[in-house]
Amino acid sequence: MSKWKDLEQRLARTEQQLRLFQRISRLMASEATLQHVLNSIVRLIQEFTVCDSCLVYLLEGKELVLCASNDAPEHTLGRVRLSLNEGLTGWVARERRLLAISQDAYSDPRFKTFSELESDTFEAFLSAPVMARSKVVGVINVQHRETHAYTGDEMELLTTVGEQVGCLLLLARMDKAMIERAVSLESVLAGTVAAARG
């Protein structure tokens, strides 16, 4: 490939990443429901990584619950549950680390199959923790049917999206009254400024 074409492609790719974050940011500032935002994020990640499967698990008590996906059957949402000791996904949540496997993901000793998810037979697996306030509150997985060497861009993207989803989750769990109060609250801000000046 010519150096010019290469540079053009890098620019296009970087611009695509930037647009993705801008779109997620717009969703974060909106009043959209968590489920709507998660579905949109899955679509954006799918477009960017051209993956066959994208799954978002969120922590509910001590279990990771499948909450959004581009390809999992509707009835598996809220139904597929993993303990933190199970599967590659559980490993990512436990270790708080990104995991990238370019082939034979299903042969990994940490792998766990679900008869309901087709992605159990996929070769490549990229997974990042969903983080909020330095805690793991979920996991996002990207999977490719064929072998796929994940790029630094893809890894960085999923890491950042994991952080955005974490903030969204916290915001979604604030009830309406709580948000009204936060938006117009006087005391906390005064406290913040005082602390900064003290």
Q: Which residues are at the interface with a copy of itself (CB under 8 A)?
A: 4, 7-8, 10-11, 14-15, 17-18, 21-22, 25-26, 28-31, 33-35, 39, 58-61, 65, 67-68, 74-75, 77-78, 131-135, 137, 156, 160, 162-164, 166-167, 169-174, 178-179, 181-186, 188-190, 192-197
Closer to a copy of itself at the Cβ: 35 or 113? 35
Euclidean distance between CA atoms 90 and 139, whole angstroms: 8
Among 135, 63, 96, 101, which residue's Cα sits nearest to residue 110?
101
Q: Is the CB of 22 or the CB of 147 nearer to a copy of itself?
A: 22
Residue 2: Cβ within 10 Å count: 7
Q: How far is the CB of 138 from a copy of itself (least distance, A)?
A: 9
- Cβ at position 28, least distance to a copy of itself in Å: 5
Q: Which is nearer to a copy of itself, 90 or 162 (CB)?
A: 162
- Closest among 95, 151, 96 to 126, alpha carbons compared: 151
Minimum separation from the CB atom of position 161 to a copy of itself (A): 9
Q: Which two tokens stand for residue 61?
A: 């008590």
